[in-house]
Each structure stands twice: as structure tokens, then as C-alpha cells.
Homo-oligomer: A and B are copies of this chain.
Amino acid sequence: MGTDGPVRYGMVGGGQGAFIGAVHRIAARMDGQFILVAGALSSNAERALVSAAELGIDKSRTYASFQQMALAEAAHKEGIEAVVIVTPNHMHFPVAKAFLNAGIHVICDKPLTSNLQDALALEALVETSGKLFVLTHNYTGYPLIRQAQEMVQAGKLGDIRQVHVEYVQDWMAEPVEQDASNKQAIWRADPEKSGKGGCIADIGTHAYDLLRFVTGLKTQSLAADLSINVEGRLLDDNANILLRFEGGAKGILWASQVAVGNENNLVLRVYGAAGGLEWRQENPNQMWFTPLNQPKQLLTRAGAGASVAANRVSRTPGGHPEGYLEGFANLYVEAAELIRHERQGTIGTAPPSLLPTIKDGVEGMRFIEACVISHQNNAAWEALEAN
């Protein structure tokens, strides 16, 4: 295989019945830059085998445990170059550790870990390992989100004054975690697996990362009022959060899993002295931009108002909608570029990457931690240590 060939990867987690594993696989496959060659797809040995077979993974590279997989692949002549971690949160750290120690790059689902301590340990490990670590805050891969960031940086909005971000769903409006077949819900509602945060960890971190990505603002402190709306639930399913940023900007972050009528309603609105931007994930191919005292403009991905940054990660002409999987796949394309640079020893010449890093992951964990502490203190302001 030449230095240009696709990246060989393995997956931990993501067996039958998992949602996000399949998403990662499609995203990795879409642009032909990755091939799946190994897996420890389930902690259930039976399921791990069956799932791997379905995916065409060779039996010799189907593993019963991630530890075994890390060792074997590190030793394999054509071993995996990257591992994709799509387990419940509490397993992100041990799995990442095993593969980093084995000298294998890591692509990891969010949130980074199930607690801040693990996150900090992982951060240290990544730094000493010299390996790549990509956290799949996939919404940052949307073309118009790239453009939004570019517009803020170019000063099109002026000084940011107010940010309003919400990530609102309704799939946990009922006690779905009590349904034994609902794997998705069960681990997310379980503090052992999810960590201290429920809604704030699962989707709040996405919203928080998105606002950071686009605005570049540094959070000074937050005040979080968390709720549990369904009897018997152990983790928050709604979070109402006030934000204060360095430099004086302020914000609101609302995350909910119980707002009936919302499927995956992630909305970002950014207002500065010179303009405003509004974007909704459920129709990600359009974004509103209002320059001060001018009519609102509808910017479309790949349309007349699309920027360099947006076009760089677009596949189809304007009006042919791209969606969630394409945005996700953009992270994989960029990860493949970095991995090939590593492969070729040219990483020093790689252009600046927009991929979410271990640092973004730690920031997300600080966010969760601060939310939980603030909430315990009756939603008092809690500082976020600078990252």
C-alpha cells in the first residue's frame, strides 16, 4: 500500500444495535479514505463476533477485548493505523489509553470521558504519546459552520455580544431507559457509564463545543439549572444555563431531551455589534446572516454566498442537500489527511487543522463538571478554568 492509500482502522464498540458506531462507519467509508479491518465491537463476545462478520471483518482480526486488539494490531504487519472508539463514555479513557500506548492514533466519540480526572489523565497521555487524537464533535464538520467560524474571525459580526445555543430533543420525554431493549437510553441514563452529566454530557457538550468553535469565545463562568423531568431518572434531562465569556459577551445554552416536538434541534445564534448569524442543524444547508441595518441574507452551502471554508468541505452543488453523515464524514476526511501526513513524516507541513482535539474534549469535561457543581450550588456562577 502506497503512502496515499486509505487509512486502516479498527473499531471498539459499535456492535449490533448501536447507533453511533454505524454512523462512524458510514462517515469513514463515504470518501473512501478509511478501511475497516479490525474490531472489538462489543463487550458481549457473541455479539462482537456476529457484528464483525456482518461488517466483513476478518475473523483473525475480530477481538474479544480491546486490550487484546491493541496488542495484536500493534504487532500486525499491516495493523490498524487508527482506532475509532464508540463505546459508552466510561470506556473512552481505558480504550484510548490502550491504543495510544500501542502507538495507534485515536478517533473518539464525545464526550471525552466520564469524568474530568480521566480527561486530564488522557490529555497528558496524548501529549506524551505523540499520536493524533480526534474527538468527533461532528457538528463542526458542517460546511456552513466552517463558514460561520470564518465570518466571525473575519469580523463580519463585529464584537460578539450575545450567543444563544440550544440542543433540544424529545426522545427521553418518557422513561425510555426502563425499556430493556433500548440500549441507547440505558447507558446514557446510567451514571456509571455516562458520568455525572446526562443531557449536558450527551448533547450539551455538542452545543457548547459548537459555540466555542464558531465564536472562539473563552468561557469565564456559567450558572446551570439542571432538571430531571422523569421520575426515577438519575441524570439531568434538561439544562438551562447562563454563560459569561471573557471580554463581556454573554450567552444562554439550553439542552433538553424532553421538549416534545423536537427531534434534534441544535440551533446556534450569534449576535455581534455588526451583524447576526443564525443556523439550525435540521436544515444545515442554509444559514441566516444579517449585516447591521441591512436585509437578512440566506447563505446556502455551495450557493452564491458560500465561502472558501464552506466550499472546501462540500460535495454537491447548492440545492442538493447534504446532511449529518456528510458533516460527520468531513471530520474523517481531515483525520485521514493528518494520518497520512503522520505516515509520511510530513505532519509538520500539514495545514492548520480544524478538527476537535483532546483540548476541546477536556474543555467539554470542564463544562460538564462546572454545570454539575453550579447546579449543586443552586445554579451559582462557577468559573471554568482556562484551558
Contact = CB atoms under 8 A, between A and B. Distances in A.
Contact of A378 (B256, B318, B381): B381
Given A23-B316, A252-B252, A324 B324 contact: no
B242 A227 contact: no
Contacts of A259: 162, 164, 269, 271, 276
Given A173-B292, A295-B304, A320 B315 contact: no
B244 A242 contact: no
Interface residues of A, number: 89
Contacts of A23: 315-316
Nearest to A380: B380
Interface in A245-267: 248, 250-252, 254, 256, 258-265
Which of A25, A289, A296, A379 has its CB near the most chain B CB atoms (within 10 A)? A296
Contact of A322 (B25, B281, B325, B379): B325
B296 A261 contact: yes
Given A254-B252, A324-B316, A276 B260 contact: yes
A290 B318 CA distance: 15
Interface of A: 5, 19, 22-23, 25-26, 29-32, 56, 157, 161-162, 164, 166, 169-171, 173-174, 223, 225, 227, 229, 238, 240, 242, 244, 248, 250-252, 254, 256, 258-265, 269, 271-278, 281-285, 288-300, 303-305, 315-326, 378-381
Given A19-B317, A297-B297, 14 more contacts: A26-B315, A29-B31, A30-B30, A162-B227, A223-B225, A225-B242, A227-B250, A258-B271, A260-B272, A260-B290, A263-B317, A282-B321, A298-B298, A322-B324
